[in-house]
Amino acid sequence: MNIERDLKRIAQQEACLRYTRFDASDAWRLGCRLQALAAERKASVAIEIRVNGQRLFFCAMPGATPSNEDWIRRKSHTVDHFRRSSYAVGLGLNRDQTTLEAKIGASTADFATHGGSFPIALTDSVCIGSVTVSGLPQRQDHALVVEALCDCLNQPLSSLALEE
C-alpha cells in the first residue's frame, strides 16, 4: 500500500462521488445496494446512512455485532468533523505519524479514523451526511462503500477503486 497514492485516489473518489440532490429515496437505494453487495459476499457488516444528523438507513447483516454500530458512530463523527472519508483521515494521520487526539484533542471514544465512512456530498461541495460500513478490515469497508456509490451514481469503479 502506498499512502500518497491512496490519498490521491480517495480525493478523486470524494470529488467524483457526489449527488446533485440526496433524499430518503436515495438513501434507501444506496443502503439497499450496500446490503445486496454485503449479502453477495456474506459480509457480516452493519450499514448506516445519516443525513443532517438523521439516520435514514440502517441494516445489520447476519454476524454483525453491537460493536459494529459503535464503530459506525465513531467513523461517521470523523466524516462529520473533517468532511472527508474516515479512511483518508486515518491515512493522513498515519503518514504524518500522529493521532487525532494529538492533532485536535479528539478522543477515540468519539472518533475512529478507520476506513468505512464516506461523505455524502452534493455537487456544490456541501457535505450533508455520511454512509458508513463496519465489520470488514478497514480498506474493505471503504471499498464496499465506494463500489455501492459508483453503482448508484453510474461512475466507473475501475477508475476510482483503490489499487490492490
* Interval 38-81: pLDDT, tens: 999 999 999 999 999 999 999 999 999 999 999 999 999 999 99
Distances (CA, A) of 92 to 62, 83, 97, 127: 33, 14, 8, 20
SS3 164: coil
Residue 164 inside a domain? The answer is no
The total of structural domains in the chain comes to 1
135 inside domain: yes
pTM tops 0.85? yes
Q: Which residue has the cell 493522513?
A: 92
C-alpha–C-alpha distance, residues 106 and 163, integer Å: 30
Coil, helix or strand for 47? strand
Domain, as residue range, for 94:
3-155
pLDDT tens sequence across 73-112: 999 999 999 999 999 999 999 999 999 999 999 999 999 9
DSSP-based three-state secondary structure for 76: helix
161 part of a folded domain: no
Q: The domain that contains 95 carries what CATH number?
A: 3.30.450.150
Question: Is residue 8 one of the residues assigned to a domain?
Answer: yes
Residue 116: band (very low, low, confident or very high) from pLDDT cuts 50, 70, 90: very high
In a domain, 54, yes or no: yes
In a domain, 99, yes or no: yes
Task: Assess if residue 160 is contained within a domain.
Answer: no
